[in-house]
Structure 1
Amino acid sequence: MKAFWTYTLARLALFGATFGVVWLIASFFVEWGSATTLFVLLISLLLSSVISIFALAGLRDRLAQNVQERAARMSQRVEESRHAEDVD
């Protein structure tokens, strides 16, 4: 679970930083309104997603490994339980 929260918080921090930079840049060039805020949000979401592919690859791999190990343990428990039922 630690890898999950680390990756999630890193993604949120990256989105927040990207939103701040895009908002700052947009504030120099555009007049603010609800549509502008929506566009800044969408651009930030897109940019942070692309950046996270490269910047957070290690965290994502660690999370995937943890999920895979957890699934293997659960499968092993199910197989052991199934085998115990067959023995009775």
Structure 2
Amino acid sequence: MKEFWIYTLLRLGLFVGSFAIVFGIWFLVADSVTLLWVIVIAFVISGIASYFLLERQREAFAVKVEGRAGKVADKLEESRSKEDTD
């Protein structure tokens, strides 16, 4: 679960940072700021950045999920084999 929260908080941090940068640039260049467009642009930028910058955290999260799924599958198979022998 730790890997999930680390990855999620880093993604959120990238979005907030991207939002602040896009908002600041837009505010300096234009007279009015369209908040919806700032959110959309920040979302796209943070998504692209997270693909490249958070690869290690995403991989750690995937390994953890795969391990947990393997344990559940093993327990399910074990319970099925017990039912077959009974």
| TM-score range normalised by the length of the shorter chain | over 0.9
Give the letter for the 1:52 counterpart: S
Secondary structure in structure 2 of the residue aligned to 1:83: helix
Segments of 5+ residues of structure 2 without an aligned counterpart are none
* Structure 2 Cα separation of the partners of residues 60 and 4 of structure 1: 9
May I ask how many residue pairs the two structures share in their alignment? 86
Alpha-carbon shift at residue 30 of structure 1 (Å):
1.5
Secondary structure in structure 1 of the residue aligned to 2:31: coil
* Structure 1 Cα separation of the partners of residues 31 and 68 of structure 2: 50
Alpha-carbon shift at residue 32 of structure 1 (Å):
2.3
Q: Does 1:16 align with 2:16?
A: yes
Alpha-carbon shift at residue 29 of structure 1 (Å):
1.2
Q: TM-score, normalised by structure 2?
A: 0.96
Percent of paired sites with the same residue: 40
Give the letter for the 2:55 counterpart: A
| Aligned equivalent of 1:79, options 73, 77, 80 | 77
Give the letter for the 2:18 counterpart: T
